[in-house]
A and B are shown apart, each in its own frame.
Chain A
């Protein structure tokens, strides 16, 4: 069974069909790329999958459980975390605190527990801190833990956002244009990082404009254009697909 199943999802904004009958399935342990020209509906699909938008038609299933039209915090709880295209960190909190917020779903101290701060709460708090530090280390930000997230360099903010998403212990991590605005050497580093992430057991779903990067790291790729899926398959096959070439370069007139 596929880890994530998008089943004939449609999304209408008024009269505009942003997504039309889109189906795809992501398998456990792969890096799945989602590409397409600007305005093709990639981010809309992300938002439909992670609960930010409701879907107008179809279903999204994670390990067979329907997660569409559920609030975002429930989707995360089922093991589906995401990052945002325009970085959305908690800018005025430290890097470490950002990641600690991500541990929210994995902890349960109540108001009473927080006020009394018994042995269990203290242990939980220590575990949150430790795991957050591990994740900062994992993304190479172990020395920036005390810096305010808003003060980090752009590439560092991208990595911090990934660390924060990883803190929710996701099975599937969706990254929305994670290398946008990076220079070629930073992109290479990120590509290696994605492979390392996959090897650590997280399945990746990647929206990306950088076709070279997608072709380099993705196991499978789907192409969206005007809200429709026009191709799906291995990167080199998709690259040769006439419909894809037409979508990117313009078709015959």
Chain B
């Protein structure tokens, strides 16, 4: 079946397109409307993971504060399109501004960390993520910018003229709910982000990022301006984060600092690691899995109630437990991720090949 499709890429593309278009309706009919919202979130996380993948996967800069850019995009959307300041600008004006602002902050964060690598960079970026969150938490005085921990609500939905995505619309007698409409919008954005990421990877800029990841000194000796190229990676990643943040704010209609904690950054990083760092299909798989699986675990609570009469293990705790175990097992048995690029698979399993050859030669001697 797979070989059949591989030989017919155009047919495969049409099949995938039809599947993606029908997915919210299939899921909605089979699992209920709440699962369509889960799909929407999965797409948001795909966008975030693809953005972070540029920084971590391509350029090899471990960024643990990525959620800060998500937060900036979301808050900027809320400032420019909610009753908070009485501004109600259209989404096509707000989203690019949010993405740009996040990109600028990406450079601002990147600039002081240029000399840092690995663990040190991770700690500084982690701090940056927390600083933004704490700012959002406390900027309700002296001037009320963020409404503090209560968050901002009544944020405008995405609307094309009078056509707001927050309402259920009728098409040819079909009722299409807001979750479905956002699904298609997010899908379109995901495709754009994917396209940009793919094109960048396979370009002189993508090669420069990879070179910095591999050996920064050698990269600079090849004429790569490591400062600019690193800042570019930060800016590109942050831009996608800001974009996703704006979409998140519009979709939820409500944001608070709680949504932008450290766990969120770690989750996005896990999506990349689990799926396959630097490999776009893998990153998408990781993002979808880590959004959908925790939701599925909610049923475990219902089962416990049905079978034991009470909830013995809180599904949220169980989630973290399974999560930790899954990560440890991954690191032991499949460090390249679930769906790695062919190259990365080769590099991490080169040792196995050598070992096999060696043991084979031992048998030869015995035989």
Which residues of A are in contact with B by a Cβ distance under 8 Å? Answer: 50-52, 71-73, 76-77, 81-82, 84, 88-94, 97, 100-105, 107, 109-111, 113-115, 117, 121, 124-125, 128, 148, 150-151, 164-165, 167-168
Q: Which of A51, A77, A82, A114 meets B204, CB within 8 Å?
A: A114
Complex Cα distance, B350 from A88, in Å, reads 19
Interface contact B207-A101, CB-CB below 8 Å: yes
Complex Cα distance, B129 from A98, in Å, reads 35
CB-CB nearest 6 A-B residue pairs? A105-B223, A114-B203, A90-B214, A76-B223, A88-B218, A72-B220
Interface contact A109-B218, CB-CB below 8 Å: no
Complex Cα distance, B297 from A65, in Å, reads 66
Interface contact B207-A114, CB-CB below 8 Å: no
Complex Cα distance, B347 from A97, in Å, reads 15
Interface contact A73-B225, CB-CB below 8 Å: yes
Interface contact A88-B204, CB-CB below 8 Å: no
Which residues of B are in contact with A by a Cβ distance under 8 Å? Answer: 195-196, 199-200, 203-208, 210-211, 214-215, 217-226, 232, 236, 343-344, 346-347, 350
Residues of A near B210 (CB, < 8 A) are 90, 93, 97, 101
Interface contact A77-B214, CB-CB below 8 Å: no
Q: A90-B211, A109-B205, A111-B236 given as contacts; is B346 within 8 A of A73 (CB)?
A: no
Residues of A near B347 (CB, < 8 A) are 91-92, 148, 150
Interface contact B215-A72, CB-CB below 8 Å: no
Interface contact A104-B207, CB-CB below 8 Å: yes
Interface contact B218-A90, CB-CB below 8 Å: yes
Q: Which of B200, B215, B236, B350 meets A151, CB within 8 Å?
A: B350
Task: State the Cβ distance, A222 to closest chain B Cβ, in Å.
Answer: 22
Complex Cα distance, B221 from A104, in Å, reads 11
Interface contact B204-A109, CB-CB below 8 Å: yes
Interface contact B208-A104, CB-CB below 8 Å: yes
Complex Cα distance, B196 from A91, in Å, reads 26
Complex Cα distance, B202 from A100, in Å, reads 11
Residues of B near A167 (CB, < 8 A) are 222
Residues of A near B195 (CB, < 8 A) are 115
Task: State the Cβ distance, B238 to closest chain A Cβ, in Å.
Answer: 14
Interface contact A114-B223, CB-CB below 8 Å: no
Complex Cα distance, B343 from A77, in Å, reads 30
11 contacts between A and B (CB under 8 A): A72-B220, A91-B215, A105-B223, A107-B204, A111-B232, A114-B204, A117-B199, A121-B203, A124-B204, A128-B204, A150-B347
Task: State the Cβ distance, B46 to closest chain A Cβ, in Å.
Answer: 18
Task: State the Cβ distance, A154 to closest chain B Cβ, in Å.
Answer: 15
Interface contact B199-A168, CB-CB below 8 Å: no
Most A CB within 10 A of own CB, among B195, B204, B205, B222: B222
Complex Cα distance, B349 from A150, in Å, reads 13
Task: State the Cβ distance, B204 to closest chain A Cβ, in Å.
Answer: 5
Interface contact A109-B211, CB-CB below 8 Å: no
Task: State the Cβ distance, B291 to closest chain A Cβ, in Å.
Answer: 27
Of all chain B residues, the one with the shortest Cβ separation from A84 is: B218
Complex Cα distance, B220 from A77, in Å, reads 11
Q: Which of A82, A89, A104 meets B224, CB within 8 Å?
A: A104
Interface contact A148-B346, CB-CB below 8 Å: yes
Interface contact B211-A101, CB-CB below 8 Å: yes
